Chains A and B, each alone.
Chain A
Amino acid sequence: MSMALGAEMVYAAFFPEGMIPAALAHSEESFALPGKNANLVVLNDRPINAETPPHLLDDKLTPGDLFFVRNNGIPPEQKDIDPTTWTLEIGGESARTKKVYTLAELKQRFTPYTYQLTLECGGNGRKEFNPPAKGNQWSTGAVGCAAFTGVRLRDVLNDAGVQSDAVYIGYYGKDSHLSGDPAKQAISRGVPIEKAMQDESLIAWNMNGQPLPYLNGYPLRLVFGGWPASTSGKWLSKIVIRNQVHDGAKMKAPSYRVPCNPVAPGTKVADEDMCIIESMPVKSLITYPKSGATIRLDQELPIRGHAWAGERKVQQVAYSVDFGASWQNCVLEAPANRLAWQHFRAKIKFPKKGYYEVWAKATDEVGISQPMLLPGWNPKGYLNNACHRIAIKVV
């Protein structure tokens, strides 16, 4: 509690259990989340949801304290998490055997791998949809890319044995449902078995060489780069190998689903016409300079940022200073590995004084680009990959 307040809580022992201190209940005041930078924008404090302003995502790898937080439930108490006794169970109707591993056993028995993996919330960008979509109103900051270290999910699943009828895996974590009902799961999602079997699909304990941040799933989580981050279960305690699409909490429509066929804005869509989101779309973010930069006409403006495209590679990033009328290519770096975001940069000379918006547009390896306006409206406001924009004044 004192960590959430960012200050030691005097008389904490006398504070009634289950109550939120007045300092936190005043919802419009900012406060530091445990292990997180105070400049994250807190959208919701129960459950905790916080995003990273674009200029704080400038690092090539997002530091743990700047990595966004999307919780569906209440994390396990930090003091109750003991990595020496933490276990992971593998089960489900398509597992040949049920297995339980301690964290130490996972590290000992399987080869560890490190990959840079991009995690983005399916609802990143929801704020811009009209008619408005329900849920946390993310702007651009529910994304990050870090170097995750862990064992391949595939190796662990194969150790338990995967039956030939397996089609999906589902996860369970130690976070609890908002209502406090122990019979309810906060979230229990997963991925098709093909995604689970990829080289880069990890059961991870480290992020950027450090133990996972508490709010990002310490001590153990799944990481599926390029897919909605809700598939990457946190505080991971159990994986089930399923002979059907996993049916855990937030797997059913409308959660993390979009209309199978495009619909007009505001359309009511029947549950059976909603399809599960898999790979995330191509997208980019300008991380330098911070929006609002003012420069002189004789100066060149350096810009930089990152681009990512779900399962795909980004082929090109271009910028525009005339609202998309003309585009110039940026320098684009190759990804460190598959599913890692890629860095771009450019230098811009402006033709005359005035107000400009710098827009960035990424194109993936099959030629699909980001839209300049919002992409197709959907009831829950997922997958907004419209071009990012920053404001610049030339004086």
Chain B
Amino acid sequence: MMENKQNDRQLLDSLYRSLVFLLNFFVVIVVCILSYFLFGDHIAEWMKPRAKTVVASTSKPESATEDRVENGKDLMSGLIAASGYKTVRSNCTACHSAQLITQNRASRDGWKAMIKWMQATQGLWDLGENEAIILDYLAANYAPQEVGRRAPLEEVEYYILELE
């Protein structure tokens, strides 16, 4: 009688342990699937082989990094994907973000003055034959736009203001 009871208990215990194990296993699987949905793309993105940071010298041709263009813009830098953008990207983004280019507007002379300033004070190298390519690109794609002394308010999103 006692022995039977003990056997029953052992059986119950082992059943219980198996159940807990199965449940844990199930939870782990669910967590894995969820993580994949949440972070899978990021992990894949980071695991992808990528080109080394290229510091271009004057004679170096444009680097062959993954050049994905979407909506006319280089996905990697946000630069307008027009003729010369890879030369701009490889020379300019070695030191600073491409955002410093894309948020600015200047004439060819204005861009040239910025390059001269960076060469005089910020350690920018002699751009050699790339200088003309870079200046042509910047003058064509990031030229000043005509605006008045004050532009209309931009990008206003209207909403109902709740007042008591």
Q: Enumerate chain A interface residues (CB-CB to B < 8 A).
A: 7, 9-11, 15-16, 18-19, 21-23, 25-28, 42-47, 128, 130-132, 134-137, 177-179, 181, 184, 249, 252, 254, 289-295, 299-302, 357, 372-374, 386, 389-391, 393
A28 to B95, CA, bound (A): 18
Known: A292-B157, A374-B149. A26 touches B46 (CB 8 A): no
Contact B123 A181 (CB under 8 A): yes
Decide yes or no whether B64 CB sits under 8 A from chain A.
no
- Which B residues, 34 to 64, have Cβ-Cβ distances below 8 Å to chain A? 39, 42-43, 45-48, 50, 52-53
A289 to B45, CA, bound (A): 40
Could you say which residues of chain A place their CB within 8 Å of the CB of B100? 44, 136
Give the shortest distance, in Å, between B133 (CB) and chain A (any CB): 20
CB within 8 A of A137: which of B103, B122, B151, B158? B103
CB within 8 A of B97: which of A46, A135, A374? A46
Known: A27-B98, A137-B104. A293 touches B159 (CB 8 A): yes
Contact B96 A178 (CB under 8 A): yes
Could you say which residues of chain B place their CB within 8 Å of the CB of A136? 100, 103
Could you say which residues of chain A place their CB within 8 Å of the CB of B47? 11
- Which B residues, 125 to 143, have Cβ-Cβ distances below 8 Å to chain A? none
Known: A26-B78, A137-B103, A294-B158. A130 touches B46 (CB 8 A): no
CB within 8 A of A294: which of B39, B96, B160? B160
CB within 8 A of A44: which of B96, B107, B122? B96
Could you say which residues of chain A place their CB within 8 Å of the CB of B42? 7, 10, 23
Could you say which residues of chain B place their CB within 8 Å of the CB of A25? 76-77
A164 to B123, CA, bound (A): 37
Give the shortest distance, in Å, between A382 (CB) and chain B (any CB): 15
Interface pairs (19), CB distance under 8 Å: A10-B42, A22-B48, A22-B50, A25-B77, A27-B98, A27-B102, A28-B73, A43-B99, A44-B100, A46-B93, A130-B149, A131-B144, A132-B110, A184-B122, A292-B158, A301-B161, A373-B150, A391-B153, A391-B156
Contact B96 A357 (CB under 8 A): no
Main secondary structure of the interface of B (DSSP, over half): loop
Contact B104 A22 (CB under 8 A): no
Could you say which residues of chain B place their CB within 8 Å of the CB of A28? 73, 78
CB within 8 A of A15: which of B46, B104, B161? B46
Decide yes or no whether B108 CB sits under 8 A from chain A.
no
Give the shortest distance, in Å, between A42 (CB) and chain B (any CB): 8
Main secondary structure of the interface of A (DSSP, over half): loop
Contact A292 B78 (CB under 8 A): no
Could you say which residues of chain A place their CB within 8 Å of the CB of B106? 131-132, 134
CB within 8 A of B99: which of A27, A357, A391? A27
Q: Enumerate chain B interface residues (CB-CB to A < 8 A).
A: 39, 42-43, 45-48, 50, 52-53, 73, 75-78, 93, 95-100, 102-107, 110, 114, 117, 121-124, 144, 146-151, 153, 156-161, 163
A322 to B107, CA, bound (A): 36
Could you say which residues of chain B place their CB within 8 Å of the CB of A393? 158
Known: A130-B147, A137-B104. A10 touches B43 (CB 8 A): yes
A18 to B53, CA, bound (A): 8
Contact A132 B105 (CB under 8 A): yes
Contact A27 B161 (CB under 8 A): no
Q: A16-B52, A132-B105, A294-B160 are in contact. List 11 more A-B contacts (CB 8 A).
A: A7-B39, A25-B77, A46-B95, A128-B151, A130-B146, A177-B122, A289-B161, A292-B157, A293-B161, A300-B163, A357-B153
Contact B46 A374 (CB under 8 A): no
Give the shortest distance, in Å, between A24 (CB) and chain B (any CB): 9
Could you say which residues of chain B place their CB within 8 Å of the CB of A135? 104
Could you say which residues of chain B place their CB within 8 Å of the CB of A15? 46
Could you say which residues of chain B place their CB within 8 Å of the CB of A293? 158-159, 161
Nearest CB in chain B to that of A24: its residue:
B97
